[in-house]
C-alpha cells in the first residue's frame, strides 16, 4: 500500500481555537480524521505529524524518504525556512505545500514562500479542504 506524509507545522496544534475566523473551527484531530477517511477511500496510508520545531520536521522528512509523496503545511516556516526547503529538495519526493487560509490575500509577508519552489504545487485558501485537495492531487500525480 502506498504511503504519504502529512506534516503540520507550528501552531497548527491550536486549530479550532486559534483565530477561527482565519483558520476555521475544525481541530487538527478533526482535519487528520478527514484525511484518514479520504486515504481509506483511496487505499493509501498516511503518516501524520505536527511539530512546532523546525528540526523535528526536517528529521521527519529525512527518516521517511521512502514514501510516495508529501503534503506539508509549513505554517510560519513557509516564509523563511531554507532548511525545510533544503530537506524537501534532498528527499526528492513530490511535495504539495498547503495552507488553510488564502495567504495571498493576507499580510504582505505571508505572500512569499521559500518552500514553494521545492514543491510540485501549492494549495491555499480552502480551509481543511486544502489538505483534501492536496491529497487527491498528490495521489493523482504519483499514480
CA angle 103, 107, 21 (to 5 degrees): 65
User: Cell 521512502 belongs to which residue?
Assistant: 66
Active site residue 99: yes
Which position among 4, 85, 99, 131 bears the catalytic label? 99
Out of 3.40.980.10, 3.40.50.300, 1.10.10.10, 3.40.50.9100, the CATH code matching 3-142 is: 3.40.50.9100
Catalytic residue among 4, 23, 77, 85: 23
pLDDT 10s digits, 101-123: 887 766 676 678 999 999 999 99
131 catalytic, yes or no?
Answer: no
**What per-residue confidence (pLDDT) applies to 25?**
83
**pLDDT at 33 > cutoff 90:** yes
Q: pTM of the prediction?
A: 0.93
Amino acid at each position: 500500500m502506498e504511503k504519504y506524509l502529512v506534516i503540520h507545522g507550528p501552531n497548527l496544534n491550536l486549530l479550532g481555537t486559534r483565530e477561527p475566523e482565519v483558520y476555521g473551527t475544525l481541530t487538527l484531530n478533526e482535519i487528520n480524521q478527514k484525511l484518514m477517511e479520504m486515504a481509506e477511500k483511496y487505499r493509501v496510508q498516511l503518516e501524520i505529524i505536527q511539530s512546532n520545531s523546525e528540526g523535528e520536521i526536517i528529521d521527519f522528512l529525512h527518516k521517511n524518504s521512502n514514501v510516495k509523496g508529501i503534503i506539508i503545511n509549513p505554517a510560519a516556516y513557509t516564509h523563511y525556512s531554507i532548511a525545510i526547503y533544503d530537506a524537501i529538495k534532498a528527499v526528492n519526493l513530490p511535495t504539495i505545500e498547503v495552507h488553510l487560509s488564502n495567504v495571498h490575500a493576507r499580510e504582505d509577508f505571508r505572500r512569499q514562500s521559500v518552500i514553494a519552489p521545492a514543491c510540485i504545487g501549492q494549495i491555499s485558501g480552502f480551509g481543511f479542504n486544502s489538505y483534501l485537495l492536496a491529497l487527491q492531487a498528490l495521489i493523482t500525480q504519483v499514480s
